[in-house]
């Protein structure tokens, strides 16, 4: 990161032309609500809300694996006081931290007392942290006014259907007003409460993101309708999450063999939704106790038993980071704008998919062998757009390449044309080439868009950009 001085120490960056200033103020440091912000800022979840009032066929909260990144999974449940200690410890050590989210492991609105108590305690100690919750929506309408009073600007509702018939295949039961409901009646009640909650949030200016789990053969086609409904009701973002399904998780879908979509099926549906509600494409489907940048999870470092008895908030790291990032983001915005202009001006050609190894800052700065995921971008005559990410097993272990991992990486990179990374050896480079994927470290440490533009314009015959490390 380049050192830089932001006189105002505000952490702001250049606002995109198409974003309302008040909205930009809310999203500019939120790693989930702004794709650009996720290169710089981190979230943490505290697992204070274990209770849930519905059953989803893709959920089993009894299962936990420390290496598993999946909503609903948490290694330890916390009381609001324990959560406060953890937030203070993380905020003092992780300079990128900007958002505290409550995303279960049950439902943040159903387990409301603990959600509210946690936010109240943290607000007193760290007033500049943003609050965020994720909910299934059933209990949401009961708490919208309190969310507004607590300055919660970001709410996620998981909405998988707007047709209760489809809902019967996803939700076996709900629990509402002291009673259990099943079948069509349950799905209809859930749907009505979700729509009411969304409309109430929109009316109060709270930004709402809709998460939809894409379940092939159950609701994949139907999500086009969901996108239309939530757009009409003011949703800010729509996030399609691929179903994670494994018999070992003990979920209904896992045990009954329901498969999730592959990366290209997800992209195809996302592409069909272009022009509807704005899509989030950088979700990492994180755990209910995740800590760190979206592509990483430092939760194990901050387990309750690793936090010392006395914790006092030290704001110095977060403040210093914000000053550095403000300048860096301005540079990045200018570089990206130039790069996109060059791609648009290049001779029309086919769309090219790039997989980028990065460890943050919006740059090509990770070695191929160290990457645990690749960020995917598409360059085309329309410009450069973020498409998603592909998780992989690390190729390099103790300095040696793992041949077995490479097959999995090639499979995960299905459809990718070019891999950009900070360093790659000839052995993996040759094997990727055999699979039709070009890999290069020629643009190491460039901004991602600058690197893509250089290669895309060179390939299309236009003058290549000079590298700007
Ligand atoms: Fe957490 Fe969710 Fe808030 Fe983000 S996560 S409550 S909006 S702070 Fe983000 Fe994780 Fe995807 Fe959620 S990457 S699962 S979208
Ligand atoms: Fe699990 Fe969340 Fe569904 Fe409740 S709402 S069953 S916690 S996925």
Residues 216 and 89 occupy one common structural domain: yes
Tell me, using a 6 A CB cutoff, whether residue 174 lines ligand 2.
Answer: no
Residues 353 and 402 occupy one common structural domain: yes
Q: How many domains does the chain have?
A: 2
**What is the CATH classification number for the domain harbouring 387?**
3.30.420.130
Residues 345 and 297 occupy one common structural domain: no
The stretches of 294-315 forming alpha helices (DSSP H) are none
pTM score: 0.85
How many Å is the Cα radius of gyration of the chain?
22
Residues 104 and 138 occupy one common structural domain: yes
Residues 132 and 167 occupy one common structural domain: yes
Residues 354 and 291 occupy one common structural domain: no
Residues 335 and 400 occupy one common structural domain: yes
Residues 284 and 430 occupy one common structural domain: no
Residues 242 and 278 occupy one common structural domain: yes
Residues 297 and 330 occupy one common structural domain: no
For the chain, give the number of residues: 469
Beta-strand ranges (E) seen in 81-120 are: 97-102
Ligand that lies nearest to the alpha carbon of residue 107, given by its number in the listed order: 2
Ligand 1 atom nearest to CA at 33: 7
Instruction: Please report whether residue 22 resides in a domain.
Output: no
CA of 328 to the centre of ligand 2 (A): 39
Instruction: Please report whether residue 120 resides in a domain.
Output: yes
CA of 83 to the centre of ligand 2 (A): 21
Query: 406-442: string of b/e by CB count within 10 Å (b at 16+)?
Result: beebbebbeebbbbbbbebeeebbebbeeeebebbbe
- Pair 27, 207: CB distance under 8 Å: yes
| pLDDT per residue rounded down to tens, the chain (469 residues) | 333 322 232 333 455 667 788 898 999 999 999 998 999 999 999 999 999 999 999 998 765 544 445 566 677 889 999 999 999 999 999 999 999 999 978 999 999 999 999 999 999 999 999 999 999 999 999 999 999 999 999 999 999 999 999 999 999 999 999 999 999 999 999 999 999 999 999 999 999 999 999 999 999 999 999 999 999 999 999 999 999 988 988 899 999 999 999 988 998 999 999 889 999 999 988 888 899 999 888 888 998 888 887 889 999 999 999 999 988 888 998 999 999 999 998 876 788 999 999 998 899 999 999 999 999 999 999 899 999 999 998 888 766 666 777 888 999 998 999 999 999 999 899 999 999 999 999 999 999 999 999 999 887 654 433 333 2
Residues 220 and 71 occupy one common structural domain: yes
> Which structural domain range is residue 330 located in?
326-460
Instruction: Please report whether residue 1 resides in a domain.
Output: no
Read off the tokens for 422. 């900070």
- Pair 267, 388: CB distance under 8 Å: yes
Instruction: Please report whether residue 24 resides in a domain.
Output: no
Q: Which residue has the tokens 């891999």?
A: 419
Specify which residues 132 forms β-bridges with. 101, 154
Tell me, using a 6 A CB cutoff, whether residue 156 lines ligand 1.
Answer: yes
Instruction: Please report whether residue 23 resides in a domain.
Output: no
Residues 300 and 387 occupy one common structural domain: no
Query: Strands 383-391 and 373-380: what pairing?
Result: antiparallel
Question: How far, CA to CA in Å, does 194 sit from each of 142, 225, 311, 392?
Answer: 11, 15, 39, 35
- Pair 182, 173: CB distance under 8 Å: yes
SS3 state of residue 324: helix
């Amino acid at each position: 990161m380049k050192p830089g001085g932001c006189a105002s120490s505000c952490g702001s960056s250049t606002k995109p032309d198409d974003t309302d200033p008040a909205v930009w103020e809310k999203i500019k440091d939120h790693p989930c609500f702004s794709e650009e912000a996720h290169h710089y800022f981190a979230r943490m979840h505290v697992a204070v809300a274990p209770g849930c009032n519905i059953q989803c066929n893709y959920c089993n909260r009894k299962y936990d694996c420390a290496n598993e990144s999946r909503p609903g999974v948490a290694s330890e449940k916390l009381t609001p006081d324990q959560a406060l200690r953890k937030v203070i410890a993380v905020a003092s050590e992780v300079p990128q931290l900007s958002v505290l989210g409550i995303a279960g492991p049950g439902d943040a609105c159903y387990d409301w007392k603990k959600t509210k108590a946690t936010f109240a305690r943290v607000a007193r100690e760290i007033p500049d942290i943003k609050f965020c919750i994720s909910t299934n929506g059933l209990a949401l309408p009961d708490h919208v006014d309190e969310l507004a009073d607590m300055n919660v600007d970001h709410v996620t509702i998981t909405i998988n259907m707007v047709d209760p018939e489809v809902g019967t295949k996803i939700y076996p039961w709900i629990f509402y007003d002291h009673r259990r409901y099943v079948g069509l009646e349950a799905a209809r009640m859930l749907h009505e409460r979700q729509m009411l909650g969304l409309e109430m949030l929109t009316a109060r200016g709270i930004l709402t993101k809709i998460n939809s789990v894409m379940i092939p053969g159950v609701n994949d086609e139907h999500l086009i309708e969901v996108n239309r409904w939530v757009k009409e009701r003011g949703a800010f973002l729509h996030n399609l999450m691929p179903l994670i399904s494994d018999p070992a998780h003990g979920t209904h879908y896992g045990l009954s063999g329901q498969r999730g979509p592959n990366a290209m099926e997800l992209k195809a549906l996302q592409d069909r939704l272009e022009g509807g509600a704005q899509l989030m494409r950088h979700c990492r489907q994180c755990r209910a106790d995740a800590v760190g940048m979206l592509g990483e999870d430092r939760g194990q470092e901050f387990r309750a038993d690793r936090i010392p008895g006395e914790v006092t908030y030290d704001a110095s790291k977060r403040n210093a980071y914000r000053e550095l990032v403000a300048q860096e983001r301005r540079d990045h915005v200018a570089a990206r704008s130039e790069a996109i202009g060059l791609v648009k001006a290049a001779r029309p050609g086919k769309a090219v998919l790039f997989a980028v190894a990065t460890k943050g800052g919006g740059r090509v700065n990770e070695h191929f062998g160290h990457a645990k995921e690749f960020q995917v971008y598409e360059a085309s005559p329309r410009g450069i757009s973020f498409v998603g990410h592909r998780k992989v097993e690390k190729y390099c272990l103790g300095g040696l390449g793992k041949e077995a991992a490479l097959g999995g990486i090639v499979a995960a990179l299905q459809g990718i044309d070019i891999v950009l990374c900070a360093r790659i050896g000839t052995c993996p480079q040759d094997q990727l080439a055999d699979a039709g994927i070009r890999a290069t470290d020629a643009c190491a440490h460039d901004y991602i868009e600058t690197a893509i533009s250089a290669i895309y314009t060179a390939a299309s015959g236009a003058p290549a950009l000079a590298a700007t490390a």
